[in-house]
Structure formats: C-alpha cells, structure tokens
Amino acid sequence: MSKYYLNYLDELESEAIFVLREVWAQFENPVILFSGGKDSILVTHLAKKAFYPAKIPFPLMHVDTGHNFPETIQFRDDIIKELGVQLIVGSVQESIDEGRVAEERGKNATRNALQITTLLDAIETNKIDCAIGGGRRDEEKARAKERFFSHRDDFGQWDPKNQRPELWNIFNGKHFEGEHFRAFPISNWTEMDVWNYIKRENIAIPSLYFAHEREVVWRQDSWIPNSEFLVLEDHEEIVTKKIRFRTLGDITITGGIESDADTLEKIADEVSGMRQTERGNRSDDKRSESAMEDRKRQGYF
Amino acid sequence: MLDNNQLLRFTTAGSVDDGKSTLIGRLLYDSKSIFEDQLQAIENTSKKKGHNGVDLALFTDGLRDEREQGITIDVAYRYFTTPKRKFIIADTPGHIQYTRNMVTGASTANAAIILVDARHGVIEQTRRHSFIASLLQIPHVIVCINKMDLVDYSEEAYNKVIEQFEEFSSKMLVKDVRFIPISALLGDNVVNRSKNMDWYQGAPLLHTLETMHISSDINKVDARFPVQTVLRPQRDGFIDYRGYAGRVASGVLRKGDEVTVMPSGFTSKIKSIDTLEGEHDEAFAPMSVAITLEDDIDISRGDMIVRSNNKPEASQDLEVMLCWLHNDAAKPRAKYTIKHTSNEQKAMIKEVIYKYDINTLERNMHDKDLGMNDISKVKIRTTKPLMVDSYRENRTTGSIILVDDATNETVAAGMIV
C-alpha cells in the first residue's frame, strides 16, 4: 500500500481545517459559536491549527442562558485568555429582561428554546455573517441533512427542503445583506471520532466530562445535576453518585450518566461500548419526534 | 480502531422500492451502529404503522415531510465504523426529480452502491444511476442484486442481471464494477455471508467495502495546491512570515521543489511546509498545510501553486459536462459566477453542444434548454483563465459550480472534459 494516504482522523482534521479556511476567505465577519462543550472546543482547536502561526482571526461567541455549569464559564474564560481572541456574549437573561422572550412555564421549563432569540439578536447586532458551529450529522436526524455551509434567511431560518446543493469541496457562501450562514467544519465526525481525536491530541476539556461524585436527581431517565435552578418534585430526592456528562448544555436539562471514566482513555473506551446516543440524555430532544428539526428551522444551533 | 484505518465515502442509489433504506438500516444494524434509543424509536414507529417486527428502513427517515410521505427528499449522511474502516454514506433519493441530489452525493464518493431488484432486473433507473456514477467518475461501483429471497436465491436470476448490466455499461467509463447477490431484508451477504447462496463465491458487501483498495482514488501524480488564504501572523518570531494556506488537491509537494505560481507564472522554491505540529518534508493530497516560498511573490486566494515541470492548463474556454441543479432554467448568454477550487470568476454559457436524454442516454443535438436535472455538454467562456485539469484525471481541479448572481443560488455543477 502506498504511504501517501491519511488515516481517518487526519482526513477529518484536514477537511475541517479546509472548511474553516473557506469560512475565513468567504465571509467578512465570522465567529465560532462557543458553548464550552467538547464539540465547540474541538472546533476551536481545529481553528488554531487552520491559521497557525497566525492566531484565530475571529471572535468566539457564547450564548449564555444564565443556567450554566460554573466549570463551563471558567473554562471559557481560560481559553479566551490563552488564545488571545475576543469573546462576544449573548445573554438570555438580558433578552428576558428586555422583554424579547418570556420564560417557559411548567415542570420541565428550560431556557433552551429562548436561546434562539438571543443567538439571532447577537448575530444581527454584531453584524455576523457566518456562525461556525460544532454540529455533527451523526447527532440527530435533522442534522444528518446539514450542509457544511448552511444558509439562513434574514429571519435566521433554515429551509431544509431548499438547501443549496454542495458538490465536491466547492462551498457557496454568497448571501444578501441580513442573511447569514452557519458553517459546520466537523459535520462528518461521530461522537467516537471526537473522543478519539481529543485523546490523541490531548485537548483540555471541562472536568464535567470526567467522572466525579456529584449531587444529582433522577429525572426523565437520567441524572440531572443539583443546582440553584433545580426545583424538586415531591417524589424526587437528591443523591450523590459518581457521574459524568456526555454532552454539556443547560445545567437544568443536561443529564449525566453513572460512570467511573475519569481519564480520556477510559472515556473513549466507555463511549465505544455505549448503546445510547449522546443526546438521549437531553430532555430538550425528547419532546417530540421532530423537536430538533423544529428548533433548527427557527434558527437553533 | 487502528491508527492507519482509512475513511471510505460511498453513495447509495436505487429506485423507490429497491430496498435502499432497508440495506442501509441492515448495514448499520448488523455492524452494531444503531443505538438502543434509536432502535426503540424505530420499534415504536413500526408498531404504530402496523409493520411486522422492526422496519429497518425507518432508520433513514429524516425530515418530517419525509416521514409523512415515506420518501427521501434530500441527501442524508450516515456514519458507521468497523474495526477496519470508518464509513460515510451519502444516502440519496432515487426518484428522477432528485437527480441533483444523486449528483451531489456522488461528487465526493469513493464507491457507489447501485441496487437492482432481482425480480425486475435492470430498469431505466438503474441505467440512470450507473450513468451518473460514471459521469462523476466514482472509482468503484458495487451492483447489489437485492431481494434474492424473492427469487428463491436463484443463480440464474443473478446472472441475468449481470448480463443486462454489462450490456449497457460497456459504453460507460466505470473502472471497477462488482456484483453481489443480497437480501437486505433478511441480511444475506450484507454483513454476514449467506447460507442460502452457496453458488456465490465472492465476499459479502461489508467485507468488500472494508477491503477495497482506495489509496489510489486520489491523483498522486500532478501536484496542485490551490491557495485558500494567506497567513501573515505579524507577531514575535513570525514578523516576516507569509504562508499560503490550502489543501493539497492532488499529487505530492516537497520542500525544495521548483514551483510555478499560476496564473502569474512566477517561479520559486518551496522553503517550508508548515502545520501546528511543525515543519514537514512533504505534503500530499488531501493534507491541509501552509506553504512558504523562497521568494517574495504576490500570491492571493485563487492562485495555484504547482510543480514547474507539471502544470495544469490555463484556459478561458472550457468544455464542460454540466448538470443543471435549479428550478430556474438557464438563461441564454446570461452571466454566472463560476467557482473552481478557490478561484472565482464570471462566466457565460456560450453554447449547448448536446443534451443527454436521461432515460435513453442518447445525445439530443436539438433540445438546447437547460432545466432542472438536465445533463448537457456545454461551452463556457470565463473572464479570466482558470487553471484546470480534465475531471477524468483530477476530480478537484476538474470540477466547477455556477452561481446565479441574482439569487446567489448554486444552479449548476460541471465536470471539465
């Protein structure tokens, strides 16, 4: 066999770097959507590679729901300092205070859907023409249809049935004023690829991904962490378990799993044996069969 | 997974009821790539719809409209991994009105799986899918003769399809064609070898996909480096650094190589090949790197760095196999933006030479309209030269898209003849 071929991780890396450089070349004012989760950390790491020895030429943007894991915010501030890039924060609390959105009511109320307004407002205010996200096609059935360069109209909406065809590696980022794009450099990565790569590159990630003793409550088939926002039901009780999180979202809706995986090696091993998808622990996706598609159409990540 | 495992991209094409979704469901299910919560969701839906057992085809349903209509509208990407390889499936719809999606899925594929119903043999759609596979120069084609369980696993039925297929495919340019008799529904020869077809000596589908030689699918001879952007760090240690960032489209570039920058024609030598990991002696396709040159030359996005003894053609007049992808038909002599690697110019379709009748695959010399899903040979004139190779020799430097400036939509995809 010829020595001139890349293994699958190197090929995925090269593809993502190519996409990030295309974003930089085709847009005026792109940002990386940074949530502090592993996928946006990975995208940021790849951006570092794409522009080395120059620094990442665009800001990171965080949509802050106010319902954060404290570790995530610390991690975000550390990475901003290390990279020397600008941070833009869109605050859901401000959107609520300004009357742009209203808190959901009821037992499983979350701020998840409220993020859409905050995100679109931040995109408009900062004149962002491309928001780079860590979305992957293996995550969810609506995401399986995403393009690398995904068009959003001037209301920020996605029209999945009328997407621009994307052939070879020629990306068309042309748009009119007021419209924007979402770009997904790690579209072709699976959860397993992400972990194998994080392990290989030894990328720093928040401690939440590693198993620790935490206070949790059993709700909707997963362990929801205790926080100032948690309102206990009558039958519920807080217990201490060794928990880690497979994805990080709002602290109110992100369920953990019982685990002993406290190193990257153990996490990768654990993930390779998993029989549930990672979003299986996200109550925002359990609402209906097309929960993600509906949110994405409106402008969700 | 081993460190040297490769990535294989394949596309699946079949008619509406050829069992394409079932095949993909079967590949994912038998290779244990379906998670329990996904399986649970499919089981629930199967019950609701009154199916017997689990309908694996439901796994590939995506958008709400697709679930309601029971058809695939858009290209969907699926992933699975075995101990030998990582796979990306571009799952494309088979209906005639979705030719554009098939072309999209085929554009990045190493291999195409074409499904044929053993009971019906080669039909119009089979011919069309094979034609698109050959037009897009997919290096490997696997014809899966499906529903063998419905023809009593008959070797004659299998041989008849091969005969029919070879009869029409001899006119096409497909380098590597294989045939596999399967039952996607029951799993024969998909992941596991069938116990019902002793007469078939070849490998099951998954083994074929795992072992197929794909390293030579990319052109490793003609070194082509389209410049995406210029890196100027202007910080300590890199004050005068000027790196040309890009992904090697084909071939190999080495430190010290004599190179020419096109279209300017200036020559220089490669001073370094850089990534965050450090300097490299060489870079090959499809690596993303930054290249620095010995001399200060004005280079920007859209330029191409090539080895001085092996250059592409710089041309303003192109003959292109064009697939029209948009509802709005082409306007005669209208100007479009043409995108080719990182280069972008204005272009005009000067002449339609002929149009393929997608059903008979015959050339129509009289109908010159370019509408949705039409595939035609055209002459294009660009405002400035593009650095091109023929698509047959180089998928990256031989492909273009056209963008309508009035709508910004991608309206056509072309392969340079």
Is B26 in contact with B190 (CB distance < 8 Å)?
A: yes
pLDDT of residue B203: 96
In SS3 terms, chain B reads as: CCCCCEEEEEEEECCCCCCHHHHHHHHHHHCCCCCHHHHHHHHHHHHHHCCCCCCHHHHHCCCHHHHHHCCCCCCEEEEEECCCEEEEEEECCCCHHHHHHHHHHHHCCCEEEEEEECCCCCCHHHHHHHHHHHHCCCCEEEEEEECHHHHCCCHHHHHHHHHHHHHHHCCCCCCEEEEEECECCCCECCCECCCCCCCCCCCCHHHHHHHCCCHHHCCCCCCEEECCEEECCCCCCCCCCCEEEEECCECEEECCCEEEEECCCCEEEEEEEEECCEEECEEECCCEEEEEECCCCCCCCCCEEEECCCCCEEEEEEEEEEEECCCCCCCCCCEEEEEECCEEEEEEEEEEEEEECCCCCCEECCCCCCCCCCEEEEEEEEEEEEEECCCCCCCCCCEEEEECCCCCCEEEEEEEC
Whether B201 contacts chain A with CB within 8 A = no
**Which of A181-185, A277-281, B249-253, B336-340 is least confident?**
A277-281
Class of the domain covering B313-416 = mainly beta
Instruction: Identify which of B75, B238, B409 has the shortest CB distance to residue A53.
Output: B238
**Residue at token pair 């710089």:** B314
Question: Which pLDDT band, with edges at 50, 70 and 90, does A2 fall under?
Answer: low
Q: Which residues of A touch B303 (CB under 8 A)?
A: none
- pLDDT reported for residue A181: 94
Where do the CATH 3.40.50.620 domains begin and end in chain A?
A: 8-193+290-298
Which pLDDT value is given to residue B228? 98
Task: Residue A276: list chain B partners with CB under 8 A.
Answer: 35-37
Mutate: best of B49, B80, B234, B247, partner A, most A CBs <10 A:
B247
Mean pLDDT of A248-276: 83
Q: Give backbone dihedrals phi and psi of B182, rounded to 5 degrees, phi first.
A: -135, 165
The architecture (CATH level 2) of B6-217 comes to: 3-Layer(aba) Sandwich (3.40)
Torsion over CA: B34, A137, B401, B245 (sign)? negative
**Which 3 state secondary structure label does DSSP give A257?**
strand
Where is pLDDT greater, at B283 or A94? B283
How far apart CA B263 and CA B254 sit, in angstroms, is: 21
Closest residue to A138, CB basis, from B63, B65, B79: B79
Percentage, residues of chain A above pLDDT 90: 49
For CATH 3.40.50.300, the residue range(s) in chain B are 6-217
Nearest chain A CA: its distance from B133 CA (Å) = 14
> What was the ipTM of the complex prediction?
0.92
Q: How far apart are CA A8 and CA B7, in angstroms?
A: 5
Asked if A284 and A301 count as a contact pair (C-beta separation under 8 A), the reply is no
Q: Out of B67-76, B269-278, B294-303, which region has the weakest mean confidence (pLDDT)?
A: B67-76
- Residues B390 and B140: their CA atoms lie apart, in Å, by 19
Element holding A198 (H helix, E strand):
helix A191-201
| pLDDT exceeds 50 at position B30 | yes
Q: Is the peptide bond before B286 cis (omega within 30 degrees of 0)?
A: yes
Across the interface, which of B75, B395, B408 has its CB nearest the CB of A175?
A: B408
pLDDT (tens digit per residue) in B19-29: 788 888 888 88
CA separation for the pair B101, A58 (Å, rounded): 33
Q: For chain B, what is the mean pLDDT?
A: 89
Taking chain A, what is the end-to-end CA distance rounded to the nearest angstrom? 41
d(CA B123, CA B116): 8
Chain A interface, best mutation among B3, B32, B63, by max A CB count within 10 A:
B63
Q: How far is it, in rounded angstroms, from Cα B151 to Cα B116?
A: 13
Interface of B with A in 209-228 (CB under 8 A): 213, 215-216, 220, 228
Shortest Cα distance from A237 to chain B (angstroms)?
26
For residue B73, give how far its alpha carbon lies from the nearest alpha carbon of chain A (Å). Answer: 7
Mean pLDDT, residues B339-353: 96
Q: Which of A229-238, B64-73, B299-308 has the lowest mean pLDDT?
A: B64-73
| Structure token digits, residue B135 | 């037009």
B165-B168-B169 Cα angle (round to 5): 75
For chain B, give every residue range classified as CATH 2.40.30.10. Answer: 224-307, 313-416
- Give per-residue pLDDT as tens, B360-399: 788 999 888 899 889 999 999 999 999 999 999 999 999 9
Instruction: Please give the single-letter amino acid code of residue B48.
Output: K
Distance from CA of A97 to the nearest CA of B (A): 35
- Report the gap between the CA of B391 and the closest CA in chain A (Å): 12
Average pLDDT over residues A30-45: 95
State yes or no: pLDDT of A1 exceeds 50. Answer: no
Tell me the residue type at A37. Answer: G
**Minimum-distance CB partner of B104 among A1, A160, A166:** A166
Give percent of chain B above pLDDT 70.
Answer: 92
Q: Let me know: does A258 contact A242? Beta carbons within 8 Å.
A: yes
- How many CA atoms, within 13 angstroms, populate the side-chain half-sphere of residue B110? 20
Mean pLDDT of chain A: 87
What topology does CATH give the domain B224-307?
Elongation Factor Tu (Ef-tu); domain 3 (2.40.30)
CA atoms within 13 A on the CB side of B141: 30
Using the Cα atoms of residue B20, residue B25, residue B26 and residue B27 in order, give the sign of their dihedral.
Answer: positive
Average pLDDT of span A65-92? 91
| Measured distance between the N- and C-terminal CA atoms of chain B, rounded to whole angstroms | 40
Domain A8-193+290-298 CATH superfamily: HUPs (3.40.50.620)
